[in-house]
Amino acid sequence: MGRTSDSRQRLMNAAYDLIWNYSYGAVTIEAICDRAGVKKGSFYYFFDSKVDLAVAAIQAWYDERLRMMEEMMPSGTPPLECLTRYLSFAVENQLQVHAATGQVLGCPIFTLGSEISAQDDRLRTLVQEILAAGARFFEAIVRDAQAAGDIEGGNPALKARQLWSFYEGTLTRARIENDPELLRHLCSDAMELLSARSQLAAA
């Protein structure tokens, strides 16, 4: 049982890494099996198709990201500190990947969604759900920060959309230009975008 579970996890890890580094369309089942060290015949023991594997891999990545966010932002963490921790984690992850591979890879979900938006329904739906959850997370931060008097008032949904677009747009531009320097001021720029009036904004 341990070996079969390990093979399935290796396939999901390989699929996620290859899709993030290259693209969904460019990655073959053969390449995934080679990266995972799993025979192609064994692939179909776990998954019926590349789509099935991609859905499982992205869902597993998202579940792990939620777990990490709960650890980074326990209940009671001030809203702007939640934002700072989240953005700092995202930037550090991008910089670590760049140091290891020489590439800025951007947001895996945004990149995948841009590619498969008119293709597979299951992948598109999963990507849309994850991106919508991210947007709701940003909106909750804005609403809570406004309620605490940490940022200016106004339309919280609009501010959250602006923040979300800035975040995803910066990651995407950094990937396109392969320039990690575009990410180094992401936190402070996000705070300025929100017109933050807290000590965090000034830091």
Domain spans, the chain: 1-59, 73-202
Q: How far apart are CA 142 and CA 157, in angstroms?
A: 8
Q: List, for residues 97-122, the tens digit of each pLDDT value.
A: 999 999 999 999 998 988 887 678 89
pLDDT band at 41 (very low <50, low <70, confident <90, very high): confident
Band of pLDDT at residue 203, cut at 50, 70 and 90: very low
- Token pair for 11: 């396939």
CA dist 51 → 23, 25, 132 (Å): 13, 11, 21
Helices (H), the chain: 2-21, 29-36, 40-46, 50-72, 79-101, 108-116, 121-147, 156-177, 186-193, 199-202
For tokens 């995948």, the residue is 112
pLDDT at position 2 is 41
The 8-class DSSP code of residue 180 comes to G
Over range 44-61, report the average pLDDT: 94
Residue 37 buriedness (CB in 10 A; 0-12 / 13-18 / 19+): exposed
Q: Domain 1-59's class?
A: mainly alpha
Name the percent of the chain lying above pLDDT 90.
79
What is the sign, positive or negative, of the torsion defined by CA atoms of 191, 197, 198, 203? positive
- pLDDT tens by residue, 143-181: 999 999 999 888 999 999 999 999 999 999 999 999 999
d(CA 60, CA 126): 12
pLDDT for 196 equals 55
d(CA 85, CA 79): 10
Q: Where is pLDDT greater, at 143 or 201?
A: 143
Residue 6 structure tokens:
């390990």
Is 73-202 in the same CATH topology as 1-59? no
Just give the CATH number of 73-202: 1.10.357.10
